[in-house]
Structure 1
């Protein structure tokens, strides 16, 4: 399942950014966001999850991207539990905060497509507006349930379900395998 080539990339980057900047649990272990240069590299890698052209952000951009990722998490959490009212509210807060303006852009031999950037004083990275629009487009479509939070115990990472049947429940195969192994062990104990 794909939204469209550009939207896919921005939504995937938003999920990866949320996971980098959110403290909590990942794959059964506590997770703390990295700091300093490691944070810059991790945010750059998250943005490249959606666009191979993305670069590591400058220090001034990191602070803005931390804020974008933290705000975007609310969209995934609300969509995961089917609360489209709350998901729409969170997406609307992103749109209000980053005030995206559409602009046709062409680069890297791609066809013309829309980019959404907000004022540079609010988000010098330019990603906040695009992520706000991308998440709002998903929430405003029949595909809002494609945004989720991992169902595995001790994991709160988010994901975008691009599977054909839309039944993904875990952030990764590692979490899916942990849950399957635990269920298998429980069945063996019961027998």
Structure 2
């Protein structure tokens, strides 16, 4: 895994965790109460080795990440929130290697919530400080408040999922036919 792959995975996990705790509604449905499986699913975007989850340990940090991501295109406001989370989690770079895998950079202990939040906040901070920040978008579907990273080459993605895209297209078709 290259460094950029690890960063992309951490950013994807940060967005997924933020949406899990902050977005309501999600993809046209009321959001469910976050549980350990939802947190684990977000963290598994970056690794298969997920610690035991206490949802409360992730809630506040995930909500801060969501609030920061929703502030865009106000990068200054988003940066203030992320900087606060970085200070709170005491994000500090360190090289980690497990089970014979190559060394890779972490920003906190991968065995505790604060370490994960430090890692994910760092990934968001790196996005905010890059020229790719405009790739982070809000879903344009009604009844969806998710944020997502536009991965298209021409930067035209409008929806967080095909479910939201299809729901929007069906609604537009029905409006034209009526």
2:177 and 2:129 map into 1 onto residues whose CA distance is: 44
State the number of aligned residues. Answer: 176
Kindly report structure 1 stretches of 4+ aligned residues shifted beyond 4 Å. Answer: none
CA spacing shift, 1:50–1:127, aligned 2, 3 Å: same
TM-score, scaled to structure 1: 0.82
Q: Which residue of 2 aligns with 1:74?
A: 67
Superposition pairs for residues 123-142 of structure 1, below 5 Å? 124-142=113-131
Pair 1:85 & 2:105 matched:
no
1:31 aligns with 2:31: yes
Report the TM-score when normalising by structure 2: 0.88
- Where do 5+ consecutive residues of structure 1 fail to align? none
Query: What secondary structure is seen at the aligned counterpart in 2 of 1:25?
Result: coil
1:113 equivalenced with 2:83 (yes/no): no
1:94–1:132 CA contact under 8 A, matched in 2: yes
Residues 5/110 of structure 1: CA separation in 2 closer, same or farther (3 Å cut): farther
CA-CA distance at 1:21 after TM superposition: 1.8
CA–CA separation in structure 2 for the residues paired with 1:92 and 1:125:
14
Question: Partner of 1:19 in structure 2?
Answer: 19
Which sections of structure 2, spanning at least 5 residues, go unmatched?
none
**Maintained 8 Å contact 2:22/2:67:** no
Q: CA RMSD in A?
A: 2.2
Alignment map for 1:32-181 (pairs within 5 Å): 32-34=32-34, 39-57=35-53, 59=54, 62-79=55-72, 82-117=73-108, 124-181=113-170
Aligned-partner Cα distance in 1 for 2:19–2:137: 12
* Gap change, CA 1:181 and 1:68, over 3 Å in 2: same
Alpha-carbon displacement from aligned partner over 1:68-117 (angstroms, at most 9, x marks no partner): 111100221012xx111112122212212212011012235543221101
Partner residue, 1:188: 177
Partner of 2:145: helix, strand, or coil? coil
Structure 1 residue 187, shift from structure 2 partner: 2.2
